[in-house]
Amino acid sequence: MATPKAQLDDFIDKYSPAVAREGRAALRRLRRFAPGAVELVYDNYNWLVVGFGPNERASDAVFSLVFAPRWLALCFLQDAPALPDPDRLLRGSGKVVRNVRVMSAKDLDAPAVRTLIATALKRADVPIKKASRGRIAIRAISRKQRPRRPLRAKARSATTGSPAIARSAPAGPTPSR
């Protein structure tokens, strides 16, 4: 049986090379920001989600990295609407979860994003112990999944019925709880 790290690598490999590269770099950065975190991996119908928390309880996860076909999203999972966001980076209208779109792993180094991460970690219901040994826990793998790579323009226009709509449509739903 494959190790959890090897399984996670296989899940990431389903994405385009650009998204996979940025996703791996983003995970490395998030591991530095949350040393000792348990990474909860869900390869579900819509997305690949890697949650960072103090244990294997999904409800204790502080934030997660969501892989979509065209981008990544950093989701804040604990009372995100109350998270101070002076730079108005948080997206979505969820009552619990909000997110920041990540086009490049370097976006995570922006001072405003690092402040959001640090604040979320400080406010966590159950803190992540830095001295703990971080690990990866594969929590769910969906047999049926949406395509992990972007559909080409022709395929999109066939599903929307019009090339004009396909070009102006958002690249996908915003993850929310």
Q: Which of these ranges, 44-53, 63-72, 145-154, 162-171, has the smallest mean pLDDT?
A: 162-171
Q: What's the pLDDT tens digit per position in 80-103?
A: 999 999 999 999 988 899 999 999
**Which amino acid is present at 101?**
R
* Confidence grade of residue 1 (pLDDT, cut at 50, 70, 90): confident
Is 131 within 8 Å of 36 (Cβ atoms)? yes
Phi-psi category of residue 36: left, alpha or beta, with phi > 0 → left and psi -120 to 50 → alpha: left
Would you give the end-to-end CA distance of the chain in angstroms? 32
Q: Nearest CA to 170 among 107, 104, 91, 106?
A: 91
The mean of the pLDDT values for the chain is 88
Q: What's the pLDDT tens digit per position in 2-43?
A: 999 999 999 999 999 999 999 999 999 999 999 999 999 999
Examine the pLDDT at 168 and tell me if it is beyond 60.
no
Q: How far apart are CA 7 and CA 136, in angstroms?
A: 10
Q: Nearest CA to 177 among 45, 80, 71?
A: 80
Distances (CA, A) of 173 to 48, 111, 113, 145, 169: 14, 26, 21, 15, 10
Going across the sheet that includes 98-102, the strands are 98-102, 72-76, 63-67, 48-53, 38-43, 135-141
Q: What is the pTM of this model?
A: 0.83
Q: Which helix (H) or strand (E) holds 122?
A: helix 111-123
DSSP category for residue 153:
H
